[in-house]
Amino acid sequence: MSGERELRVYSREEIQEALKDLPEWGFGENYLFREYRTKSWRETVFVFNTLAGLAEVHWHHPEVEVGYKRLLIKLTTHEAGGVTHRDVELAREIEKVLSLLAKRWYNT
């Protein structure tokens, strides 16, 4: 977890800088997003459950659209009204953990 840092909404420039380390992620209205493609429903569920565990550890919960062979993850800090350090940190953690599973469980 991030500790007691202030929830400051990142500027567009700060978001673009953070996304340099997250090339598969994009920026929507007030959120970061990434779509993951999987090989089957079973793998989609596995990836979702992994994501759910990461969200609980960070106590920061994404919006997720789940389909048969895909997940769309959106990160925003609702109480701040935009993207904060919480979103960037969780995106980095998601990327790190799910990339370890990529070769076995899903296509990026």
Name every residue whose Cβ is closer than 8 Å to that of residue 73 and which is 6 or more positions away in sequence. 33, 34, 35, 36, 51, 62, 63, 64, 94
66 vs 88: CA distance, rounded Å = 21
The pLDDT of residue 25 is 97
Q: What is the pLDDT of residues 65-100, one digit of tens each?
A: 999 999 999 999 999 999 999 999 999 999 999 888
The pLDDT of residue 2 is 45
Domains present along the chain, CATH in parentheses = 24-107 (3.30.1360.20)
pLDDT above 70 coverage of the chain, percent: 90
Predicted confidence band of residue 101 (pLDDT cuts 50, 70, 90): confident
Q: What three-state secondary structure class fits 75?
A: strand
